Structure 1
């Protein structure tokens, strides 16, 4: 493994995005959903997919709103090293990345997305371009196996590997294969991609029936029809009902972002690669609304509040410290949900904090006042649990009464309601 170190000229001139910064939504149209070998000069300008709601069996709370229900989430990351030199399939290559956390992480290429760039030889002057997927666009240089036989072999290797993974990881691999080879994304090579796409479907059907993928070349003949009139719907009797939904969601989400930012060019997003210092140096000017994560934290906050309410109602009850602690947790998680919705790029400032006053700062006077009231009554979060937070023989169980618990639960409930109305919606 060799760590990539950009030439001095690149180090000095390129304001690369800070690892761990969320990719702005207007950049989504520049992401390449295909896959290829990641060149070293792109190692510091890569996106890591954190979440894609289309990969889940999502039904609960589906609002029909693309931004709420279909919005993927990406982080800017830096690739530090390519792990292993004997991997022949780009989708399965491993990379060690810096994602802004304390430790480096090793992930597979199917979680990484490059940006589509023009063909200028000078890497420093390259500019991003929108994903090209119409017949009139210029050809896009893209990785492709040298023959159908090689493509079929690669597909089978990738799918066999995917079936060894947890369900979500499996779907990530399948998604990348579908989006790379779908004929709608390859107008300049429809016939070849039709055949490969059909091969993917046939392999998925076999795997879903717990059948092996046969490596005999003769077994690929069925996937070598011209495919010009191929029906790209999926049979109802297998896992592919999810695949059909994935493609529908992808098309709807892609159209949403293309329409929203159709008048924006990369230059209008702050200029060319060299001129992006304003964005990459000041991410606070470009808040990222991570609504899916906000809803997840808010859901847990409501659950904590419900448990504190039920505990409060129990009689007799000598554990009002735990009622207060659960309500304190509910308030903390709800306010963190608000930060994910307001600007996920600032969550790192409060992620590991349990101080309600600090977390509430910046969320509005109403939340700040309620958080201050709770903190006054409960003190630090450790005070509700540990005897050494008190002097003498006092213990948490005896330090809180029903009246205090009722006030804390009421304040937590108000915080959750304000966050729901002002941030989660």
Structure 2
């Protein structure tokens, strides 16, 4: 299925190349329009900026995919005259199609030569939201080229703050997606850029694949508004499994994963059991990352009581962000150890509970920052019964929970609008 958004017509024509030639008809039309405005005594609108967006970090995580369309939607809404060229880290054919279908004017700098040309031509270098300074080298190149640059919605570690003081100090702005990172930035004493809280751009995501979601839900006999989505996560993402060709095994982290996998997920299973028994609604077990697909059953499904299993469906494949967004939009609620499934849910007005593990980064703080303090649980300090009680509270009064999700979304949108306004 080809994902679309409301009012958008899917366009599968090739959009390759960061630069597009204007045709004769466009030139004549724009010239006539400018002349008409002049004759009416009104100057034409000033041209927008050319923004070079460094984003698209990886495709093995629906959240890392979501950063880019979220930021593009944000720029489209609040900076409609700007042109955007994407400097991607990793794009699959399928993910690129998602982007160019939704954003047909998007230029993509794929090759090194195209990226260098785009950097030379741009008016502003924008580092998109993400887990840290993932595009640090490219930001350094922008700085060396004398281009203004900024960071929009990043989590910062103490190590990054220490190692990149000059880069951060030279930015026009540094918006962190959580206030824990903002406090760390301020404590580091870095002077120069405007620094503030700017949420993860995934809150602006509007990608959807409703036909794919409808087909999937029909196959699994899940009714809209009648199921909970549950998302697992190991304490350390096993990148040595995902990219064995470049990431060495990590026995220490593997041991932590083994020690806590069942202990953590037993608490979510308690919530799942209560959801089925008390709300009489179903549960859908889904992955946020590729590695989670074979772990859905052993972590969440297999240990469930037989009478509960009959009401639980499992997605036994990876999916992409547009399909996931449509499924989350139709869910009653989402409960997740991962961060971005809850963000995608709230972006679509669906209540979402975050179960945070201590090995995760500062990013979980953003749930409190957008007003969802009651929907985040530090897993080591939480019982399964507490998780179950919160899910029951949500499930038994969905209208109130949806209003809370919508309010959080509006807080995030207001902050993101202010963030992109700083581009100037």
TM-score of Structure 1 vs Structure 2, range by shorter chain: under 0.3
TM-score by structure 1 length?
0.24
Report 1 or 2 for greater relative contact order, CA contacts < 8 Å, sequence distance ≥ 6. Answer: 2
Q: Structure 1 or 2: larger strand share?
A: 2
Higher helix share: 1
Normalising by structure 2, report the TM-score: 0.24
